[in-house]
């Protein structure tokens, strides 16, 4: 991870003026597993701004950040995912070389094959990070995705923030 002094002037200025805020979220979005991970259905959720081929990219022109989500099919070829994350606060070359750094679907397929996890959900979800105005994300988008995961019978979610 880069130190503050290693970041570009543009990123340092952005961070100095970032409108950090605290949001109280009830209930706490974490829970104990009801059964062993080896028997659980798992989904991945990332803020890498990935979309599958044929999906609309995240809209980088929205000033406070695109609060929408993309449904990523469980059978997608991981290398085919398209990154549309707008942040300049990290080096995108690693993710471009291996999507699994931000969305480890291939690694989770290996965990399923080794029976470390029970099964992978038929769909996963991607958001764009760097959302400066997260109220709609908190109030609408995230609860919608949580409801979809619950309807799918997902018991554990692996989050990869970027």
Q: Is 11 helix (H, G, I), strand (E, B) or coil?
A: helix
Answer yes or no: is pLDDT of 23 > 70. no
Is 81 a residue whose pLDDT tops 70? Answer: yes
- Rounded to an integer, what distance in angstroms lies between the CA atom of residue 99 and that of residue 1? 18
Query: Model confidence at 24, in pLDDT bands (50, 70, 90)?
Result: low
What's the pLDDT tens digit per position in 89-144? Answer: 677 788 889 999 999 999 999 999 999 999 999 999 999 988 888 889 989 999 99
pLDDT at position 1 over 60: no
Q: Which tens digit of pLDDT belongs to each residue from 59-78?
A: 988 888 899 999 999 999 99
- Asked which of 5-9, 41-45, 57-61, 63-67 is least confident by mean pLDDT, the reply is 5-9
Q: Domain range holding 78? A: 4-160
Q: CA torsion 10→13→19→23, rounded to 10°?
A: 70
What is 18-44 written as a DSSP string? --------SS-S----SS-GGGSEEEE
Average model confidence (pLDDT) across the chain: 88
Question: What does the alpha-carbon distance between residue 81 and residue 104 come to, in Å, rounded to a whole number?
Answer: 12
- What total of structural domains would you count in the chain? 1
């Amino acid at each position: 991870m880069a130190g503050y002094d290693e970041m570009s002037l543009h990123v340092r200025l952005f961070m100095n003026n970032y409108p950090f805020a605290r949001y109280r979220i009830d209930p706490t979005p974490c829970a104990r597993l009801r059964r062993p991970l080896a028997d659980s259905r798992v989904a991945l959720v990332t803020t890498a701004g990935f979309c599958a081929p044929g999906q609309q990219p995240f809209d980088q022109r929205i000033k406070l950040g695109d609060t929408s989500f993309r449904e990523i099919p469980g059978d997608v070829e991981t290398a085919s995912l398209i990154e549309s994350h707008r942040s300049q606060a990290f080096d995108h070359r690693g993710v471009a070389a291996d999507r699994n750094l931000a969305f480890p679907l291939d690694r989770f397929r290996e965990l399923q094959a080794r029976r470390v996890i029970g099964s992978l959900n038929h769909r996963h979800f991607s958001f764009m990070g760097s959302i400066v105005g997260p109220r709609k994300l908190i109030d609408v988008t995230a609860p919608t995705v949580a409801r979809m995961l619950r309807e799918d019978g997902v018991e554990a979610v692996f989050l990869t923030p970027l």
